[in-house]
Amino acid sequence: MGARWMRFVRGWPRALYRQWPLLLVLFCFAMGVLLIIADHWRRGSMVIGGAMGLAGLMRLVLPEDIVGLLALRGRFWDAAVMGLAGLAIIVLSLVVAPA
């Protein structure tokens, strides 16, 4: 357990740093969820939609070696699906009438 564990412990900050685009999207998503929990569902939904749009934009702009785990399929399809999903979430949060 000694040497392998120490290599793992020393290597995980570097692994997290390489996944900064995904961590940024997850952070924005978490902020949206916190807004929804705080009873600001419209703002929270818009933040979540913005996080999806940000993921699509980063997938479109960033090179393959930097984008990390945001890359699922081809660049165009990833960006299109994430961007349209973000746009749909934002539009739905604006269309739904408040109670």
Question: What does the pLDDT read at residue 51?
Answer: 96
pTM: 0.83
* pLDDT for residue 55 is more than 90: yes
Q: Are 32 and 44 in contact (CB under 8 A)?
A: yes
The predicted-structure confidence for 21-49, as pLDDT tens digits, reads as follows 989 999 999 999 999 999 999 999 999 99
Domain that holds residue 71: 19-95
User: 62 in a domain, yes or no?
Assistant: yes
Q: Are 19 and 68 in contact (CB under 8 A)?
A: yes
User: 4 in a domain, yes or no?
Assistant: no
User: 61 in a domain, yes or no?
Assistant: yes
What phi and psi values does residue 19 have, to the nearest 5 degrees? -105, 30
User: In Å, what is the CA distance from 20 to each residue of 1, 67, 75, 89?
Assistant: 29, 8, 18, 23
CB-count exposure of residue 55 (10 Å: 0-12, 13-18, 19+): buried
Domains of the chain: total = 1
Sign of CA dihedral 83, 84, 85, 87: positive
User: 13 in a domain, yes or no?
Assistant: no
DSSP at 70: G
User: 3 in a domain, yes or no?
Assistant: no
